[in-house]
Amino acid sequence: MTMSDPIADMLTRIRNANTAKHDTVDIPASKMKIAIADILVDEGYIAKYDLIDEGSFKTMRITLKYGATKNDKIISGIKRISKPGLRVYANKEELPKVLGGLGIAIISTNQGVITDKEARKLGVGGEVLAFIW
């Protein structure tokens, strides 16, 4: 069976692994997921990711990040906003702020997949993919 929302699957795998205090999580890779993982690394929500070539398909191994102990989670919440059944778009004036600027919104724009802060700087809007805080 094909997956109808691979980005939601990625975010759910990260959320579940974070809740279960796992060190790594494996996710099927795609260009969009790699772009989202790049943002998560740049913003400090995950430690790193590696691409693993397993024959006909690629897998992304994400290394999660925790505080001093594994009870101190860096990612306290992660939520998919735009879904296949209900796409959510925001123009440059309506870009969302997550928790008053404490979290990030991941936006898919014509400039690529970027954070809400970068989209404000560039003056572009797009599809609101997810909130992370």
Sequence spans of domains, the chain = 6-132
Tokens of 117: 């802060």
Mean pLDDT confidence for 111-133: 95
SS3 103: coil
Given this model, what pLDDT does residue 2 score?
65
Distance CA 127, CA 116 (A): 11
Q: Indicate the pTM of the whole model.
A: 0.91
Given this model, what pLDDT does residue 55 score?
83
**44-48 long-range contacts, CB within 8 A, separation 24+:** 44/74, 45/74, 45/75, 45/132, 46/14, 46/74, 46/75
Distance CA 23, CA 90 (A): 34
Under CATH, which number does the domain 6-132 receive? 3.30.1490.10
- The amino acid sitting at 61 is R
Given this model, what pLDDT does residue 7 score?
96
49-97: pLDDT as tens digits:
999 998 888 999 999 999 988 888 999 999 999 999 999 999 999 999 9
> Quick one: what percent of the chain has pLDDT higher than 90?
86
